[in-house]
């Protein structure tokens, strides 16, 4: 079991490039950007991995203050495992100190679920991470709901949030960022009881 002095690697999953920036599939990037803003950092290219990173500290002063590496893999979503594993090895982060923030089809829009381990539920980013390093990392699952009608899943996740969804998106991204901070400072059970919906 890892101890409180070891760093945390917080990974927002998404696709690089401006054409994907507002897609549902990129909500992990949105949460990572907000967390970077909160710790007063700017993303820079990682030297040892195909990713952008920010290093800093998160949480209240005292024992709950954590050293964190925020990361956005700059591979495409389905290749996320390579950059994440490279960062894990470079920063010597235990797998149970890795948090993947990602979109989740099987949860209603805006709902959150935090968990440790489990399957990939067909999510290509998680599939790639699990293949690279096993399933024992934390997930912050951000609900995007199912595609309407007969729309294909691949088309749905690569579309921008609807205008109705965008009205709430800022608040929901803020709440997801809060849940990550709670997870680090107070542990999974506390974060689940406060944020799982």
Q: Give the pair of three-digit tokens for residue 81.
A: 């495992």
Distance CA 13, CA 109 (A): 17
Q: H/E/C letters for each residue in 20-37?
A: HCCEHHHHHHHHHHHHHH
Rg of the chain over Cα atoms, rounded to whole angstroms, equals 15
Write down the catalytic residue from 25, 102, 123, 138.
25
Q: From residue 103, give the alpha-carbon distance in Å to each of 40, 57, 185.
A: 25, 25, 23
Distance CA 32, CA 26 (A): 10
- Is residue 25 flagged as an active site residue? yes
Q: Which residues are catalytic?
A: 25
């Amino acid at each position: 079991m890892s101890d409180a002095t070891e760093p945390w690697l917080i990974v927002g999953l998404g696709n690089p490039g401006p054409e994907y920036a507002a897609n549902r599939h990129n909500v992990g990037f949105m949460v990572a950007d907000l967390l970077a803003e909160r710790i007063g950092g700017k993303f820079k290219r990682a030297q040892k991995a195909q990713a952008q990173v920010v290093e800093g500290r998160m949480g209240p002063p005292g024992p709950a203050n954590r050293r964190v590496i925020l990361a956005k893999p700059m591979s495409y979503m389905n290749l996320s495992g390579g950059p994440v594993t490279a960062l894990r090895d470079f920063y010597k982060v235990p797998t149970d100190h890795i948090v993947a923030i990602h979109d989740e089809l099987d949860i209603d829009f805006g709902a959150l679920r935090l968990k440790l381990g489990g399957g990939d539920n067909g999510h290509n980013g998680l599939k790639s991470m699990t293949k690279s390093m096993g399933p024992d990392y934390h997930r912050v699952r951000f609900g995007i709901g199912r595609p309407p009608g007969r729309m294909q899943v691949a088309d749905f996740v690569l579309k921008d949030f609807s205008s109705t969804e965008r009205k709430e998106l800022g608040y929901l991204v803020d709440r997801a960022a809060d849940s990550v901070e709670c997870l680090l400072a107070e542990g999974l059970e506390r974060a689940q009881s406060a944020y799982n919906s």
